[in-house]
Amino acid sequence: METTPPRGRPAAPPLLQVDSVTLAFGGVRALSGVSFEVQPGSITAVIGPNGAGKTSLFNTISGFYRPTGGSIRFRGREITRLPPPERARLGLARSFQNIALFRGMTVLDNIKLGRHAHLKTNVFEALAYWGRARREEAELRRDIEERIIDFLEIDHIRHAPVAALPYGLQKRVEMARALAMQPEILMLDEPVAGMNREETEDMARFILDVRAEWGATVLMVEHDMGMVMDLSDHVVVLNFGQVIAQGTPAVVQADPEVGRAYLGSGDVQSLRAKLQAAARQGVAA
């Protein structure tokens, strides 16, 4: 299996190493022997058909699932047994496929929450709201306002309760919260699902900017092939819990197995022709 260094960068020791990870739920094998590496500063995409195990892989990396076998290393350190909050503290930040915002909080509080693991205020300071509590909160607020809210262009909703926001904005708040976690590695699970082209482009721009301005490494799961192929340095293809291919977008795209299992095609016109053909065939049958 080949691993290509990210475009235009010298090879560096990998930031994240997933080594023959296996995960089973009763009879269902969600992951079997998955291995790949994420290079620092890269954008790595995990793609694959529905049910291939992508989200399970993310859950395993962030510690929500314990793998049945294999190991995960972050900056060379073994984290397979580390509880999730510890991993968050190390800088493994993520967003969720099924939006997991805290519906009882405002956008701002949701984002603030992301910083939790990096703050130090204890109960007594909190009850008195004095000293460190006051300082930390002020600092956090400024940081979030200036670096995240402005950056993601969500200033108009900062005091809105998240529950009533439209889907696309909720996704953006998810991203904001992940950014507030001070990510070393930012894991995005389907960041542009439910977005139209325009919004997808916005999100793509954010992702590029995050890497450029924050120096974060990005690991994402996404079904929008246009975006994946354009943005990623490295693509990992999962099918039935196994890595069936990985490499640069060009390499992956050329892999015939990947095409069969996964990739769709075309613009409106050709797609229309294809769909109509399918329908006619159905009627005839």
Partner 1 sequence: MTQTPPDLVLEVNNIEVIYNKAVQALRGLSLAVPRGRIVALLGSNGAGKSTTLKAISRLLALEDGLLASGSIAFAGQDTAQLAPQQLVRRGLSHVMEGRRIFEDLTVEENLVASTYALSGRAGAGRPDFDLVYEYFPRLHERRRGLAGYLSGGEQQMLAIGRALIAQPTLMLLDEPSLGLSPKLTEDIFSIIARINAERGTSMLLVEQNATVALAVAHSGYIMENGKIVIDGPAERLAGDQDVREFYLGMGASGEARSFRELKHYKRRKRWLS
Partner 2 sequence: MRIGTFKESYTADAALFDSRTQHAWLAIAGALLLLFPFVASDYWLYMACLVAINVASATGLNILTGYTGLVSLGQAAFMGLGAYTVAIMQARWGTPLLLNLLGGGFVAMLGGMVVGIPSLRVKGLYLAIVTIAASFIAHFLFANFQITGGTAGLSMQPGRILGIDLDTSFRLYWLIVPVMLLMLLGAANLFRTRIGRAFIAIRDRDISAEVLGIPLLRYKLLSFGLSSFYAGVAGGLWAYFFRVVTPESFPLSMSIFFLAAIIVGGMGSILGGILGAVFMTMVPELLKLVVDLLPGSADLAVFLSPVRLVVFGALIIGFLVFEPLGLAEMWRRTRRFFHLWPFRN
Partner 3 sequence: MSEGFDWAYLFEISLTGVASGGLYALAALAFVMVYKATRVVNIAIGEMLMAGAYLFFTFASMWALPLWLAIPAAVLASGLLGAIIERTMIRPLLGEPPISVFMVTVGLASVLVGLVEMVWTADQRRLPDFMPTQPIVIGEAFLAPKVFWGAVIAAVFIAAVLLVFRFWRGGVALRATASDQGAAYSVGINVPRVFSLSWVVSAMLAAVSGIIVGSIGGISSSMGVFGLSVLVVVIVGGLDSVLGALVAGVVIGLVEALAGAYLGGEYKLLATFLVLVTILMARPYGMFGTREIERL
Ligand X SMILES: Nc1ncnc2c1ncn2[C@@H]1O[C@H](COP(=O)(O)OP(=O)(O)OP(=O)(O)O)[C@@H](O)[C@H]1O
Sequence-ordered list of residues with C-beta below 8 angstroms from that of 214, at least 6 positions apart, any chain:
179, 183
- Minimum CB separation from partner 1 for residue 255, in Å? 14
Report residue 93 as tokens: 């930040």
Give the CA-trace dihedral at 46, 51, 57, 60, to 10 degrees.
160
Element holding 206 (H helix, E strand): helix 197-209
Figure out which of the listed residues 47, 72, 179, 181 binds partner 2, where binding follows CB under 8 A: 181
Query: Could you say which of 19, 136, 201, 202 contacts partner 2 (CB under 8 A)?
Result: 136
Indicate the residue among 39 and 97 with the shorter CB distance to Mg ion: 97
The pattern of x and - marking residues 187 through 216 that bind ligand X according to CB under 6 A reads -------x----------------------
Could you please report the per-residue DSSP string of 151-172?
HHT-GGGTTSBGGGS-HHHHHH
Phi, psi dihedrals of residue 139, rounded to the nearest 5°: -65, -45
Cα separation, 59 vs 46, whole angstroms:
13
Here the tokens at position 20 are 């023959």
With contacts defined by CB under 8 A, name the span among 41-49, 102-110, 140-148, 175-183 that binds partner 1: 41-49
Smallest distance, Å, CB 33 to partner 2? Answer: 24
Scanning 50-58, 114-122, 140-148, 204-212 for contacts with ligand X by CB under 6 A, the matching segment is 50-58
Helix axes 197-209, 167-180, angle to 10 degrees: 10
Q: Does 62 bind partner 1 (CB under 8 A)?
A: no
133 binds ligand X (CB under 6 A): no
Using rule CB under 8 A, residue 10 touches partner 1: no
Indicate the residue among 66 and 103 with the shorter CB distance to partner 2: 103
Q: Which of 103, 205, 254, 257 binds partner 1 (CB under 8 A)?
A: 205
Residue pointed to by tokens 């699970």: 189
**Interface residues with ligand X (CB under 6 A)?**
25, 28, 30, 48, 50-56, 97, 164-168, 194
